[in-house]
Structure 1
Amino acid sequence: MSVPLTKVDSAIAGLSIDEKPIEKDTKHDKKGHKRNSSTAEGVWTMKDLEEQRIEITLPIETQKTGWKLNTSPNTIEDKDILKMLLINPPVKKIDLHFPLGLEVTARNSKGVTIKDALDAIHKQFKKKADDELDNPYLAGFEWDKEECWTRLVVHQTKHGAPAAPSKKSKKKSKDEA
């Protein structure tokens, strides 16, 4: 056995230092790396918020949409609501839990907006007929940190128009009569 060894083995002594080590094929050893440009600064993950116990806040505007779950979010009259962040601080993705067990995920690398959440919900309900939905309108979102820190509960209602605007319209009709 006088053949020179080319691999380094801890059990064999006496290899000279000038021998070249075998190079690994680094092309296949590289792990995938996400581009930094695709992640926005100041955008959290729900797990990070939970670990650091950072409380989130929801905009009140989500309760004023009067949006029907099986229609496109673009049918909402106030388009400015759609551009607002769903929660503050912004997150990349959030699970939306329905009381009957359905769960959908809204995603946006720059921060989930109300439109992202409504799009995710609409994707689940767009093929449902009106008579298939018991509560077809969005009533709003609720964050229950005691139940689950990392998701929002979606509330639904039978009637789409919020209470305040419907009262105003009744007053107008009384004034006209």
Structure 2
Amino acid sequence: MTNDDVLNVFREAGALLEGHFILSSGRRSPVFLQKALVFSQPTLSEKLCKALAAKLTAEFGKIDVVAGPAVGGIIPGYELARQLGARSIFAERVDGQLQFRRGFSIAEGERVLIAEDIVTTGLSFRETVEALDALPGEVVGGACIIDRSNGRADVGCKLISLAAVDFPDYDANDLPPDLAAMEAVKPGSRGLA
């Protein structure tokens, strides 16, 4: 799939929004990808993750475990694991730190792939890498459906994306006038209980 193919899936799902958005990172953007609208449709999730899984197999070979951060990594992580014939686990926030709970484990020697929906700054990815450092197994790399940083985000491991885009984003104190004139909306999930 090309970048345009992936963005068309988001458009068709009504998930490519325009306005003034506060991203999970705190940065501001005139474009927001409401991935929940895409991942609420199993056929779209399967289509995107199947295409990404083909790239991952070519890059990393066999994957034993796909691990993602809650909330954004759960559905793509599960579908990627299904496509790759791997297990799916997720980390969740406890007192502000990502932890693997619910009996999730990784055995010595297992090859682990980190999965996310959208990468902007790479913070959730880096936090997932840190949580995995406490467990056995080998992090072989990471995957996301869309890399909003167009390859610039530091995610703490090699990242393979299905699409890489360069939507503008800004510091809240340095907005272009047209964006500053609009009311800001925070549609993301970071900070949810």
Greater gyration radius: 1
Tell me whether the two structures share a fold, i.e. TM-score over 0.5. no
Task: Give me the TM-score of the superposition, normalised by structure 2.
Answer: 0.23
Q: Which has the higher strand share?
A: 2
Q: Which has the higher contact order (CA 8 A, sep 6+)?
A: 2
